[in-house]
Amino acid sequence: MLDADLLVHNASQLLTLAGGPQRGSQFGTLGIIEDGAVAISGSEILEVGTSLDLTERVRARHQVDASNRVVLPGFVDPHTHLVWAGDRAREFEMRLSGMTYMQIMAAGGGIRSTVAKTRQADLETLKSSARTRMRTMLLHGTTTAESKTGYGLETETELRMLEAIVQLDDEGPIELAATFLGAHAIPPEYDKRADAYVDLVCDEMLPAIKQAWQSIGGGRELPFVDVFCEKGAFNLEQSRCILERAQSLGFPLKIHADEFLDLGGTGLAVQMGAASADHLVHTPEQDIIALGQSDTVAVALPCTPFGLAETEYSPASAILDAGGILALATDLNPGTAWCESMQFAIALACRFMHLTPSQAIAAATINAAAALQRADRIGSLEAGKQADLILLNVDDYRHLGYRFGTNLVSSVIKRGKILIEGGQERWTSPPLSS
Ligand code: NIG
Ligand code: FE
């Protein structure tokens, strides 16, 4: 008999997503165990199998009956701008009356307006508004997320954002992977002096972050470094400069590429061995082919075109035909996509990127974990992996994608702890902002 702390059993479908990141014809392999069970010891998965098998072999202190429920790995959201101050509701209204996101940005609004608010916010204020969003993410089944800086655009505020991310990761309940996005926009004080700002990122910010990480990072690996490679933000040459400097300092890389225009960012990401290239709405064919032959994960963000009421989405079938590893994320941010729900990203990906529910689930779990270089630890239900799992109040996985606008998650288990049960929170939340 095996001793376990927790046994989740009787799942109508247990989706294991076993076997690592998925590409090619393998993409969308759920590894379904009918009448499935998971045995958990401490924060790890001990065994996965049928309920019949595990109830015979495992003696568990607690049991969760998952009858009529789908059980799957917690969602991994590999692209968010979780930490910010204020909101941009006014700009939403401006967009509805005809101004574009890029026009608002060129007129000094957009990212810059969130930067002004974020610079004024202290550490506690930043943490408290992010916690409110983290709680919503958890209720919707996200157990790990990436979180970027990029609303400071000066060393001090960028460091404060990183500190907020690390402290929120320590605090939980969602696990966070940090990304430094000092190159998110040109701050107003560097207007028309983009190259000087690039120098500041390269010569001051990156070394300062590397140094400060020894104390604020608490032994964690270095954060990712990301660049918004786009007209009105950073061109290809500037993006390359920043990413090369970051790589020489040992940072792993990401990029925002081809969201509005193709500047060559995806090709650059592949050449540099970036962990992921994100957005990819207007990626040219040769870059899609290069991406498909690489291990750089293509992160599609369907909430962004939806949030901007645009009609073009990432060309998933071209990326998949080329052999790419496709992941999904929310892009949670105050400008283009204030959405905490990976379920909604899945629903959009099914309709506008033509993924099947099983493909969208793989993109939101194991492949999303690969975009964070954590596929060895999260994103699937396999013995030895972290016990991060969710229960849906449906008995067939295809309800994910099919339904939208409501929450199908009934229970959330993070590192072996039941945090949400039957839709009720079982953890004590730290101070939330209203
Ligand atoms: O991923 N593209 C750049 N960054 C975000 C938008 C951030 C903002 O508007 O505040 C994005 O869409
Ligand atoms: Fe983004």
**433 within domain boundaries:** no
Helix spans in 6-122 (H):
51-57, 89-96, 101-106, 111-120
- pLDDT classification of 429: cutoffs 50, 70, 90: confident
Q: Note the Cα 362 to chain centre separation in Å.
A: 14
How far apart CA 342 and CA 102 sit, in angstroms, is 26
Residue 122 has pLDDT above 80, yes or no: yes
Residue 434 has pLDDT above 60, yes or no: no
Ligand 1 pocket residue status of 341, Cβ below 6 Å: no
Which structural domain range is residue 15 located in?
A: 2-74+380-425
Ligand 1 pocket residue status of 182, Cβ below 6 Å: no
How far apart CA 141 and CA 154 sit, in angstroms, is 34
E strand map for 211-319? 224-229, 254-257, 276-279, 297-300
Q: Atom 1 of ligand 1 has which residue's CA nearest to it?
A: 331
DSSP state of 201: I
pLDDT digits (tens, 9 = 90+) for 295-320: 999 999 999 999 999 999 999 999 99
Q: Which atom of ligand 1 is nearest to the CA of 101?
A: 9
Nearest CA-CA partner of 54 in 21, 22, 11, 97:
11
Of 329, 354, 371, the domain-final residue: 371
**313 within domain boundaries:** yes
Q: Tell me the three state secondary structure of residue 422.
A: coil
Q: Give me the number of domains the chain comprises.
A: 2
User: Quick one: 171 and 262 in the same domain?
Assistant: yes
User: Quick one: 82 and 69 in the same domain?
Assistant: no
Quote the Cα angle for 279-285-291, to 5°.
Answer: 60
* Residues with C-beta atoms within 5 A of ion ligand 2: 331
How far apart CA 130 and CA 325 sit, in angstroms, is 29
Q: 417 C-alpha to center of ligand 1: Å?
A: 33
User: Quick one: 233 and 126 in the same domain?
Assistant: yes
Q: Atom 9 of ligand 1 has which residue's CA nearest to it?
A: 335
Ligand 1 pocket residue status of 278, Cβ below 6 Å: no
Q: Are strands 326-328 and 389-392 parallel, antiparallel or unpaired?
A: unpaired
CATH (domain of 398): 2.30.40.10
**pTM greater than the 0.85 cutoff:** yes
pLDDT digits (tens, 9 = 90+) for 71-106: 999 999 999 999 999 999 999 999 999 999 989 988
User: Quick one: 38 and 96 in the same domain?
Assistant: no
Q: Atom 12 of ligand 1 has which residue's CA nearest to it?
A: 336
**431 within domain boundaries:** no
Q: Report the pLDDT averaged over residues 312-331.
A: 98
How far apart CA 354 and CA 316 sit, in angstroms, is 7
User: Quick one: 155 and 289 in the same domain?
Assistant: yes
Number of alpha carbons in the 13 Å side-chain half-sphere of residue 159: 17
Q: What are the structure tokens assigned to 213, written together?
A: 């990480």
Which pLDDT does position 432 carry in this prediction?
74
Which pLDDT does position 289 carry in this prediction?
98
Contact criterion met (CB below 8 Å) for 85 and 121? yes
How far apart CA 85 and CA 394 sit, in angstroms, is 36
**430 within domain boundaries:** no
User: Quick one: 323 and 216 in the same domain?
Assistant: yes
Number of alpha carbons in the 13 Å side-chain half-sphere of residue 329: 32
Nearest CA-CA partner of 15 in 400, 316, 349:
400
CATH (domain of 308): 3.20.20.140
Fill in the amino acid letter for 219.
Answer: G
User: Quick one: 40 and 130 in the same domain?
Assistant: no
Contact criterion met (CB below 8 Å) for 367 and 24? no
User: Quick one: 329 and 413 in the same domain?
Assistant: no
User: Quick one: 118 and 253 in the same domain?
Assistant: yes
Q: How crowded is residue 294: how many other Cβ atoms within 10 Å of its Cβ?
A: 20
Q: Report the pLDDT averaged over residues 219-238.
A: 97
Q: Which residues contact 20 (CB under 8 A, 6 or more apart)?
A: 366, 375, 380
Contact criterion met (CB below 8 Å) for 182 and 158? yes
pLDDT digits (tens, 9 = 90+) for 123-157: 999 999 999 999 999 999 999 999 999 999 999 99
User: Quick one: 53 and 197 in the same domain?
Assistant: no
Which of 259, 336, 338, 339 to mutate for ligand 1's pocket (most ligand atoms within 8 Å of CB)? 336
- pLDDT classification of 242: cutoffs 50, 70, 90: very high
Phi, psi at residue 62, to the nearest 5°? -130, 150
User: Quick one: 70 and 147 in the same domain?
Assistant: no
Q: What are the structure tokens assigned to 196, written together?
A: 């000087």
